Structure 1
Amino acid sequence: MIHTFAISGYRSIRSLVLPLDRLTVITGRNGTGKSSFYRALRLLADVAQGRVIASLAAEGGLQSTLWAGPERISREMRQGTQEIQGTVRKERVSLKLGFASDDYGYAIDLGLPVAAQGSMFNLDPEIKAEAVWVGEALSRSNTFATRSGPAVTALDETGRRHTPITNLPPYESMMMQAADPRNLAELLVLRERMRGWRFYDHFRTDAEAPARSARIGTRTPVLSADGSDLPAALQTIREIGDKEALAAAIDDAFPRASMAIEESGGKLELLMHQHGLLRSLRAAELSDGTLRYLLLLAALLTPRPPGLMVLNEPETSLHPELLAPLARLIRDASASCQIIVVTHAAPLVEALAEAGIRGYELTKSLGETRIDGVEPVPWSWPGR
């Protein structure tokens, strides 16, 4: 389980180190930084996929995602007795992301590129430093792999430090190039674990949504991010997952309703029978809220739970009466995987609070995303 998540220099988040629990809820008013928190988590996951540079480019590049306020905010600035203004920068420009789990921790520092003559990619950020360690927080005594510039230093089988890589490109993470089952098996384990994280963000439910049409179906223990394989995912839960929990969850949200999967020529289509109707409704006929709930149900009842699942505003288009059943679904799913919920729906937060969550409310002060009352957590960033 991840017990600490850290962000520095990303959009409205100047510096944030948060303790996490089995079920953590992030809430706050519009514009307080919930989307930035969610995107930061996704960027961290992208490191293990080898696409963090491309993801930052899609957001407008490093310059567009960096903290835009002053390097330091004084007490006078917060009190309004001093004008908010920049000063001479003392630290390097950087975007830092990291986490610590029960066994391993990882952090990355991305900075401005050194222009290369003749290159057309001089706007790409560079990976300046990385570190992987064992324990609560990074220190020299518990680090087993670090990257500074192009060099990767690691512990060998005898516990001695050596430098297996000296020419790592600034656009490649050591996650991709240094993970070795013989020499750095821990890094390989960590990378595969991060690749297993799942993110579900605003499933499409419009008339052309992939989940509304029949699709070729194969066993699908993990619902895709766009929900296109919804019928196959639900049928997989029925065959190799908890079919009783599936039926109970549908009845909890839609009393006396039932679901069916129809197969024709290898294509699967979702049908739903609701109490009082004389025929079942196909997915194309379901309301946006009903379809979204079924998508969330398929994600949360997965027969193959991930190490981490992140739900971004799962309440979108749901009727208020569905929030309590959704909260129960999330609560039950958190028994088999760690879940982070990002939401601004107070009723959902209140329903989840009954499950004993760790909750944070984001606020904004002088453009900076903040959380009041968070206990300090040990944390260190890798040096360049």
Structure 2
Amino acid sequence: MREFSAIGYRSLRKIACPVSDLEVFVGGNGVGKTNLYRALELIRAAADNSLGLHLAQEGMAAAFWAGQRRSGPQRIVLEASLSNPQARGVYRYHVEVGFPQRGTAAAFDLEPQVKEEWLSYDGGGRQVRLVDRRGPSVMARDETGRPVEVDIDLLASETVLGRLEDPGRYPMLDMVRRTLLEWRFYHGLRTDAASPLRRPCPAVASANLAADGANLAAVFATLAHIRQDTSDLDAAVAEAFPGARLIVPPPERVASFGMTFAEFPDRVFEPEELSDGTLRFLALAGALLAYRLPPFVALNEPEASLHPELMAPLARLVTRASERAQVWLVTHSHPLADVISQSGAGEVRTVRKDAGATAIEGLSLLGRYAEAEED
């Protein structure tokens, strides 16, 4: 991802920012850090056609910017720019959501409705619209580059990005959708007694960690018995828990793991016996050291339930992951942000409130950071 912007979503009155390989957003409670994270989740949701569902679950009235605004209908506007790894061009995806007009057919009165949606490509010369949706009308460029009207049964709450699945005829649209679908968001890594992290899982080779961590044992087994290299994982565990070892037995029908500790080197502690902090750190290690990382990884307050002494090991997991993927980190922890800042691996941004709206220190209205403008 190159750039991201959001207008009218919760505390994000109007914000646009470039995205580096590692972005760390730090700030106090209530400044809107999590809203930045959620807005990115909504862009990903557009790719699997669940954007309307996500906003309906939040409640559209609650999802709108609550402060003063210009006259006219309320809108939530989300946009992301993606690099093309095979070329020098940039794809830009844009979607606007609002309430239906009263009496609109095939729409409930208070459901989220896509008002405008487009995908463009800029190859360095001029920007070309690959997809353009205005209400029920959809134009898309086919495999020859020719614009055609698309005959598609599209509900007002659905996205073209999520519904128009025809990679042969619309290859660029399909590439953007598949890229967004690979994004991973980690904020629901539960550690309670019924957590999926505490259970064995089917023994299926797993390239990366599921959003709920349910395949953590398979992620560890993939590193240990398919890649046959757990050096980074072992080093992370040893730094976080001196004298401890992660035990990953060869899987049969299910995959499992356990830990030994310096005080009890011959006793393997199963996941259900591990403390919340230990288990959460292992889950984050699985997310950030997996066999194959997604192109974009977002973490929301990963420091929750971790001892302060684990901030430095966690920071090193994050910086290591940023060598293989883009990482977006939202945190309350200044110690965690400080270690990352001292490493020089990423950019640490301070988030604050300005007249009720989320703001990022050093970010101009044009969507550029002060240090970049100085350069």
- TM-score, normalising length: structure 2: 0.89
| Matching of residue 149 in structure 1 with residue 148 in structure 2 | no
Contact 1:4 1:18 in 2 (8 A): yes
| Matching of residue 373 in structure 1 with residue 354 in structure 2 | no
**Distance change in 2, residues 1:136/1:12 (3 Å):** farther
Secondary structure of the corresponding residue to residue 279 of structure 1: strand
Q: Deviations over 1:200-245 (max 9, x none)?
A: 1041111222212333332222222222222121111112344221
| Matching of residue 192 in structure 1 with residue 161 in structure 2 | no
User: Which among 77, 81, 93 is matched to residue 74 of structure 2?
Assistant: 93
Q: Which residue of 2 aligns with 1:356?
A: 345
**Distance change in 2, residues 1:167/1:280 (3 Å):** closer
Any unmatched runs of 5+ in structure 2?
A: 84-89, 369-375
With 211-220 and 103-112 compared, the bigger mean Cα shift is at 211-220
User: Which among 191, 197, 200 is matched to residue 211 of structure 1?
Assistant: 197
**Distance change in 2, residues 1:372/1:215 (3 Å):** closer
User: Which among 243, 247, 272 is matched to residue 259 of structure 2?
Assistant: 272
Q: Which residue of 1 aligns with 2:217?
A: 231
Secondary structure of the corresponding residue to residue 280 of structure 1: strand
Q: Which residue of 2 aligns with 1:70?
A: 68
| Matching of residue 51 in structure 1 with residue 50 in structure 2 | yes
Deviation of 1:26 after TM superposition, in Å, equals: 1.1
Q: How far apart, CA to CA, are the structure 1 residues paired with 2:220 and 2:82? A: 31
Deviation of 1:97 after TM superposition, in Å, equals: 0.6
Q: How far apart, CA to CA, are the structure 2 residues paired with 1:191 and 1:302? A: 23
Contact 1:331 1:355 in 2 (8 A): no
Q: Which residue of 1 aligns with 2:247?
A: 260
Contact 2:319 2:345 in 1 (8 A): no
Q: How far apart, CA to CA, are the structure 2 residues paired with 1:145 and 1:114? A: 24
Deviation of 1:250 after TM superposition, in Å, equals: 1.3
Secondary structure of the corresponding residue to residue 8 of structure 2: strand
Alignment of 1:73-84 (within 5 A): none
Any unmatched runs of 5+ in structure 1?
A: 73-88, 379-384
Root-mean-square deviation over aligned CA pairs: 2.3
Q: How far apart, CA to CA, are the structure 2 residues paired with 1:322 and 1:336? A: 22
Q: Which residue of 1 aligns with 2:371?
A: none
| One-letter code aligned to 1:305 | L
Deviation of 1:261 after TM superposition, in Å, equals: 2.7
Q: How far apart, CA to CA, are the structure 2 residues paired with 1:159 and 1:224? A: 36
Alignment of 1:174-193 (within 5 A): 174-193=160-179
Contact 1:202 1:313 in 2 (8 A): no
User: Which among 108, 112, 117 is matched to residue 130 of structure 1?
Assistant: 117
Q: Which residue of 1 aligns with 2:23?
A: 24
Q: How far apart, CA to CA, are the structure 2 residues paired with 1:49 and 1:237? A: 29
**Distance change in 2, residues 1:45/1:216 (3 Å):** same
Q: How far apart, CA to CA, are the structure 1 residues paired with 2:174 and 2:144? A: 19
| One-letter code aligned to 2:178 | E
Q: Deviations over 1:254-312 (max 9, x none)?
A: 22211113468723332101112141211111111110000000111111211100011
Q: How many percent identity over aligned positions?
A: 36
